[in-house]
Structure 1
Amino acid sequence: MRIALVGCGRISANHFEAIDRVEGLELSAVCDSVEARAREAGERWQVPWFTSYEKMLVEADCDAVAIATPSGLHPAHGILAARAGKHVISEKPMAITLASADALVKACDDAGVHLFVVKQNRLNATVQMVKRALDKGRFGRLFLANTTVHWSRPQSYYDQAPWRGTWEFDGGAFMNQASHYVDLMQWLVGPVESVIAKTATMARKIEAEDTGAAVLKFRNGALGVIEVTMLTYPKNLEGSFTLIGEKGTVKVGGTAVNRIEHWAFADADPDDADVERVNTDPPSVYGFGHEPYYRNVLRVIRGEAVPDTDGRGGRKSLELILGIYESAKTGREVPLPLRGAL
């Protein structure tokens, strides 16, 4: 299966390397509006490069398009790919409004192509261990879930591209950097009933927030807390998830939910022997999840599997993020699902 990629920025290397490692996949073209980036990626991976996305869709030999452009452009780029008959692989978030997310889902449905949304942290071996424990009922009744993202993004990071930190193309710490962690909350614990949140822009010259906190009430009765900042000194400190239930407590930490720091259950299970084995030390906060994600993409298109995260799955975490923003803006507790056009 041949994949073309648009957006040769920060995250593209993870896509290129994952595609290269998966037998049955081939990178066939790259595109970026910045000619130097497009040329560099094309020459590095020895594929045609383009500065016009529309031209790449016409001329490149591809079955799917991976979209790694600014978040606000994901729907438009995905819709163009779908109309060209290409499967769509969208980086997170799939959109920054529900209306544009729904338009992307509809375009892929109408074209009869798959829509995949990259949520690679779900595929971390550590997170998969937690999911299996939940599916087996090892936690019993869930009481409290917490995710903490203490990362560092200096002003120079935002200054690298004019779209970063803007409401139109990016969003803030919740929408961009912490979106995988918001996704883990709703994917692991279950649907959210309501959220109340505070956000602030305290030290970065951007439109959106650099710091925020949210309290969630889940439909199953559990409570949750999401704590996010991009102001940690002097570097990324923690990307963690803690889950507390009546018969089990687990914390997955490290900089990118890559290490099991606490694993305690009332009843033993064969998985307990794998706690140390699944720990990893990824070179960045992106982890190692892109490769298994692309393996799933290939199997889905071959008709051998269902998507790990499709468009409707990606929409769920987007809705929670928008609920957080709505609460921070209005100062009120916001029920989910959201009402109105957000």
Structure 2
Amino acid sequence: LIDKDRKVLQIHWGGGTPNYLELDQVKFLWKNITRNFPIASDAEVSIEINPRYVTRDYILFLRDIGFNRISFGIQDFNPEVQKAVNRIQPEALLFDVMSWIKEAKFDSVNVDLIYGLPYQTLDTFRETLHKTMALDADRIVVFNFAYVPWIKPVQKMIPQAALPGAEEKLDILKMTIEELTNNEYLFIGMDHFAKNNNELAIAQRHGTLKRNFQGYTTHAETELFGFGATSISMLEDAYAQNHKELKDYYKAVAAGVIPTSKGIKLTQDDIIRRDVIMSIMSHFQLNKSEIEQKYHINFDKYFGYELKELAPLQADGLVNVLADEIHITDIGRLLVRNIAVVFDTHTRTRETKFSRSI
């Protein structure tokens, strides 16, 4: 199915806690990947780890076999917040893990935070940011907590009254952007921050930054192949998702068939809209003439409905719609997802209940 001469430019082990695997299992899996796929010599090879279940030897082993990027979740340093979300990891542990990573000389380190968690306040999250910056990670991702107990029943255990309100969450987000951008981090897209010399920041400056299911990527031209339960593949004109249930996934693999549960073939309209959305979410602006020349359309005529939908957002100071450009304002960056979704007809026709943007 895949041309064996195509070089793999990026590998990402994620989806939770890959380091639950024993070292010999990691070695076995890595050996089979490199045996079946030609890996580019300068490939970005990353892995997510859970800092509560890793040792110095494990970190050094990962670097030794070929991983050059690593990511781990902090969520919040505050003990009360950690207890509320059942993610207790002492400050000393997190600094130890970072010291092992630096000792191993990974090319890039990413850490994740989450705002909107129970018992968070503006002051407590500022303290978390200061401790996070002391770790000196190359990238920091600050996710919005999605409170969706109707999808994740375990969240019903979280005291809803302890969650910060929408206004306080917005204040936390604004403060986060100010703190990080005042301390040598560049605001990348919706939720990513990177040091000025990091490849994400460089890609944004060069206009080559793109977003996929893993977040922001420096390789705009690549296709994404997902392996494992629930993973999603993103091809030039199609998406496919593997089975979510392990029993279904294993059954398909055992039968020798591709374990996909669903897929979609993109129409030309889907591809055009994907380009528009990617530009807005990656660069906070869109050049209309570039889309017109690439797809041979009249932008204002093709997106007449969407431009009307942007009018109230422009009135609120979130976006500027100009003759040949759509520009997201500084305050609009906080809600860039809401702006981009205007161009997504699939979201417009769905009625499923998801989490709020703020």
> Which protein shows a greater Rg?
2
Under a length normalisation based on structure 2, what TM-score does the superposition of the two structures give? Answer: 0.29
Structure that is richer in helix per residue: 2
Bigger RCO (CA 8 Å, 6+ sep): 1
